[in-house]
Structure 1
Amino acid sequence: MIRKLTLKDHENVLSYLREEPSINLFIIGDLEAFGYDSDFQEVWAEFDESNEINAVLLRFYQSFIPYAKGEFDIGSFVSIMKEFKQPISTSGKTALIDKFEQFEELKLGKKQVTFFAECRTDEYLGTTDLEIKKAGFDEVDQIIRLRRTIEEFHVKDDAREILVKAMESNTARTYYTEENGISSCVSTAAENSQSVMIVGVCTRKENRRQGLATAIMQKLFKDVLDEGKTLCLFYDNPEAGRIYKRLGFKDIGMWTMYR
């Protein structure tokens, strides 16, 4: 049986998701921040014969994140997803997202497969004398403009709206350095009670190779770890991967995004 979840299901679904808290940080973060009654977010679950959760599907705007530990009724999830305006975005564990590729009725976008890594220790973090600031709403437009200059980034039309909403709900923060405007910045996303996703690591072309992003990450990572949370991130660039691993990250799986 598949049904849409409500606030009454909150503790039950969180208990299920927290068995893999890093993998599920987006779903956990969105449920903690936006709940079950918003117009831009919905969540469904498949239940087995014992009324135990077997799989979960989250919709956040036009993006879907499925999660399951084993076999589930993928056809029913596809039926939900195809009711929304196509193309849609979807992401999740690579082995799980691979199962959706056979359904032609889903108009999936460009595919990207990345490593998924996490960090639980600050023992590899250094310090910096650079002045690193925390962004407020006044810096949002600068952040979006800088992200749009990065070829590898896919900045959507609603990126500003999503960033503002995330900052309002305390599920995102951005630290930055400044030199005639923002010269480098690093952001979080999907912050929840247990984990944080690192996103938007970017530096202006004229300010690269100065160690700015690394310095920002050291400051941001230390602050997050001091709050008792796990750091998570995606990467597909081997050079970036080496930097993250020097800062204490370890690979825990593969993640696929269609957008």
Structure 2
Amino acid sequence: MIRKLTDQDHQQVLAFLSEEPSINLFIIGDIEAFGYDSEFQELWGEFDETDDIKAVLLRFYQSFIPYAKGEFDLDGFISLITQYEQPIQLSGKTEIVEKFEATGELNLGRKQTTFFAECLTDEHLCSSRSTTGLEIKKAGIEDVDQIIELRSTIEEFHMTDDARNMLVKAMETGTGRTYYTAEKGVITACVSTTAENSLSAMIVGVCTRKEKRRQGLATEIMQKLFKDVLDEGKTLCLFYDNPEAGRIYKRLGFKDIGMWTMYRG
């Protein structure tokens, strides 16, 4: 049986998701930040005959994330997703979301499969002393437009219509932060977190202006951001598909824990 989840299900849902806390970072973070009853977010759960959770489906705006530890009602989840305007965005653990692709019933768009990695310790981080001489600042709402403009110049990024709104909401709710460097008032590089929750944070939006690349700006920002988040007792997660970026992340203490697939409608 699939039904919409409510506050009364919270402890059971959190226990289910926490068995793989890094993989479920987005779902856990969104639940902690926005709960079970908002205009832009909904959650459904599939329960077995003993009322134990078998699977969870999150809708965040037009993005959907399913999670299950075994077999689940794929057709039931698809019927929920198709009630919303297509195309949608779908992402999650590769072996789960590829089941949706196989049916051919959803307009999923471009597929991207990446490595999923996590970092549990700051032992590989250097001292926080700057090597570039530039101050690393934490972004505020006043910096959002510049951050979005910089991200839009990165070919590998897939900017959505609600990207600005989501960045503002992350800052306002504490579910995300962005650190950056700037020269003459222009942001030159930035790194962000998203889906921050009580246990973990996802690293996203690592970018540098083309003319400022290979100067170590993004790596220096990551050193600062990683240390601050880890000092708060949280686990860091990220996904990557660029081998060069993967080598940098692994030097900073990340280890691969699985694969993550995203479909961009």
Category of TM-score, reference length = shorter chain? over 0.9
* CA distance in 1: counterparts of 2:175 and 2:58, whole angstroms: 17
234-243 or 161-170, larger mean C-alpha shift = 161-170
Could you say what the CA RMSD is over the residues aligned between the two structures, in angstroms? 0.7
* CA distance in 2: counterparts of 1:165 and 1:217, whole angstroms: 22
The amino acid across from 1:146 in the alignment is L
Secondary structure at the counterpart of residue 31 of structure 1: helix
User: Which residue of 1 is the match for residue 79 of structure 2?
Assistant: 79
Deviation for aligned residue 1:118 = 0.2
* CA distance in 1: counterparts of 2:37 and 2:84, whole angstroms: 18
The amino acid across from 2:187 in the alignment is I
* CA distance in 2: counterparts of 1:102 and 1:214, whole angstroms: 38
How many pairs align? 259
Matched, 1:201 2:206: yes
* CA distance in 1: counterparts of 2:105 and 2:52, whole angstroms: 29
Deviation for aligned residue 1:107 = 0.6
Matched, 1:246 2:247: no
Match of 1:223 among 228, 244, 258: 228
Write out per-residue CA displacement over residues 116-165 of structure 1, whole angstroms, 9 at most, x where no aligned residue: 00000101101232410000000000000000000000011111011111
Deviation for aligned residue 1:204 = 0.4
Q: Give the TM-score, by structure 2 length.
A: 0.97
* CA distance in 2: counterparts of 1:103 and 1:36, whole angstroms: 28
Secondary structure at the counterpart of residue 14 of structure 2: helix
Counterpart mapping for 1:10-21 below 5 A: 10-21=10-21
* CA distance in 1: counterparts of 2:103 and 2:82, whole angstroms: 10
Deviation for aligned residue 1:41 = 0.3
* CA distance in 1: counterparts of 2:103 and 2:63, whole angstroms: 17
Deviation for aligned residue 1:103 = 2.4
User: Which residue of 2 is the match for residue 123 of structure 1?
Assistant: 123
* CA distance in 1: counterparts of 2:24 and 2:36, whole angstroms: 17
The amino acid across from 2:56 in the alignment is V
Counterpart mapping for 1:52-131 below 5 A: 52-127=52-127, 128-129=129-130, 130-131=134-135
Secondary structure at the counterpart of residue 124 of structure 1: coil
* CA distance in 1: counterparts of 2:69 and 2:194, whole angstroms: 24
The amino acid across from 2:146 in the alignment is Q
Moved over 4 A (4+): none
Match of 1:153 among 145, 157, 169: 157
Runs of at least 5 residues in structure 2 that lack an aligned partner in the other structure = none
Q: Give the TM-score, by structure 1 length.
A: 0.99
